[in-house]
Chain A
């Protein structure tokens, strides 16, 4: 036990003396959160739109005013003809046009319904969908305030975006980044730290010593477990205070499942390090072999439901996919353990499997 403590202390020294490792360990998560939170968001701000107001009445003016006040849109200019819309779209600056037909207010009051045409530049379908959704939300709001809630003449299109009414991108990205960062950092760190001992020749010395080889594994895992939990805390603090991301569920539960993912990652790192002989090899496998599948199959960039069936099946072996589901449930939907026990069990099973395989592969003798 005392020996284990001595070993763990040594591992911490390795981490804190290597600035590159430190930078990777703590810089990467922060950079990722900021990058995904601010730069790579699919949320749209200040999108330029044009308005063609054939009505020119009170109702259309009020509605235009609402567009003008919304953060998502910048009202570019008012147009007249439909040809002009085609023209501005071709310039590529304007992504959405709102067209009010003649007698907009009249038909709204007398017939109880009116049409507004939304024309989107759908070269980027995601942007187009998002913009039309934003615009529809604005119009729905307007409808309610203009006609009053009592009005039942209105055929209302009920599209509600549960859990993310403002269609905010960060809600999706934060759990995704958590999964990505925890998995990659842990796998990379553990695999490299064990292989380094092999490469340096110190592993040989350790194996000749009376120190139990399994303790080497444990001693390697403990520091990264602790550092990863600190990392997780930093990510959560950043998301709450910088990205205004709510944590709706239980924080202890969130930490507990995150610890489970960290353990999965540590076991995977052990497996990689036990199967490789150089730091480069371990790094290559951890980064190249893990980064892309994790990005692809976690589900926070590309929805898994839209993938071909073989890929959907394949995605099941990616631990971060399950973690992502759990975090979304706990953090955003505020659900409890009852809702996530299945995913948790899968993660647990994966961890156990990886751990058993890697311990069996760990060579306590050299030949």
Chain B
């Protein structure tokens, strides 16, 4: 990990009418870091993430992603990030191979590089023999892993993962995290939201969002110490207890 900053926000705020979904959130994410973004349903995680991806314009505050401004340089940001949403979102009626080709294509990966890189990726995932199968026929865990590979296929600087392991069994989740570590080792910054507190432990640093505010931000070890907790679960309960917003 170098000292370079991948994402930097300063009092970033998003209002929907009277409702403040994200309230003056301020944090820095270092290059190559795995940054966990935690919070209950409705705490504002997805809103914050969408602002950083250029999907949503902030109401106020500042932020840069990969060095680009979220107001004026969304096109530049889009070229330098990868994104995986909470909903599984590859084309089920296309094959594994076709999905990779398609997404690599629209991200402008040169044609000559797509095939060798895709081959290597699929071998690593153990999906090479299924490359001509329709994605619809794969088990959910494999779909998620494939989704992740597609999100980092164009070698972005930062990849945003919005609750990537929802509905996946613990073993597959562990394997999924292996992929995340691998990407992090290659210098890709990981910005991940999650509900699972065991996953929070895998992150280098985590922030806890409650009612649109960032209530805590530190390494998992430091957070546990500060709150005198045995596990991240306890830290989370301690922080989320005072939440006004109910989950959606």
In the bound assembly, the distance between CA atoms of A202 and B93 in angstroms comes to: 13
Distance (whole angstroms) from the CB of B46 to the closest CB of chain A: 9
Distance (whole angstroms) from the CB of B185 to the closest CB of chain A: 24
Query: Do the beta carbons of B108 and A205 come within 8 Å of each other?
Result: no
Closest residue to B87 on the A side, CB-wise?
A: A201
Range for the number of chain B residues in contact with chain A: 20 to 34
Query: Do the beta carbons of A205 and B85 come within 8 Å of each other?
Result: yes
Query: Do the beta carbons of A14 and B91 come within 8 Å of each other?
Result: yes
- The interface residues of chain A lying within 8 Å CB-to-CB of B88 are 201
Closest residue to B75 on the A side, CB-wise?
A: A210
In the bound assembly, the distance between CA atoms of A205 and B162 in angstroms comes to: 12
Distance (whole angstroms) from the CB of B181 to the closest CB of chain A: 23
Closest residue to B84 on the A side, CB-wise?
A: A205
**Contact residue among A17, A201, A204, A211 (Cβ-Cβ distance under 8 Å from B106):** A211
- The interface residues of chain B lying within 8 Å CB-to-CB of A207 are 55
Query: Is B236 located at the chain interface by the 8 A CB criterion?
Result: no
Query: Do the beta carbons of B94 and A208 come within 8 Å of each other?
Result: no
Query: Is A367 located at the chain interface by the 8 A CB criterion?
Result: yes
- The interface residues of chain B lying within 8 Å CB-to-CB of A17 are 93-94
Query: Do the beta carbons of B93 and A13 come within 8 Å of each other?
Result: yes
Number of A-B contacts (CB under 8 A): 78
Stretch with Cβ within 8 A of B (4 or more), from A2-10, A235-243, A254-262: A2-10
Closest residue to B101 on the A side, CB-wise?
A: A6
Distance (whole angstroms) from the CB of B110 to the closest CB of chain A: 10
- Would A366 and B56 be within 8 Å (CB), given that A3-B106, A202-B91 are in contact? yes
Interface size of A by CB at 8 A reads 23
Query: Do the beta carbons of B89 and A6 come within 8 Å of each other?
Result: no
In the bound assembly, the distance between CA atoms of A70 and B105 in angstroms comes to: 66
- Would A209 and B16 be within 8 Å (CB), given that A13-B98, A366-B50 are in contact? no
Query: Do the beta carbons of A18 and B105 come within 8 Å of each other?
Result: no
Closest residue to A363 on the B side, CB-wise?
A: B55
Chain A, 195-246, CB within 8 A of any chain B CB: 200-202, 204-211
Distance (whole angstroms) from the CB of A45 to the closest CB of chain B: 46
- The interface residues of chain B lying within 8 Å CB-to-CB of A6 are 101-102, 105-106
- Would A202 and B90 be within 8 Å (CB), given that A208-B78, A210-B75 are in contact? yes
- The interface residues of chain B lying within 8 Å CB-to-CB of A202 are 89-91
Interface string of B51-68 (1 = CB under 8 A from A): 001111100000000000
20 residue pairs from A and B, CB less than 8 Å apart: A2-B105, A3-B105, A6-B102, A7-B106, A10-B91, A14-B91, A200-B89, A204-B55, A204-B83, A205-B83, A205-B85, A205-B89, A208-B78, A208-B160, A210-B75, A210-B108, A365-B54, A365-B55, A366-B50, A367-B16
Give the B-binding residues of A (Cβ under 8 A). 2-3, 6-7, 10, 13-14, 17-18, 200-202, 204-211, 365-367
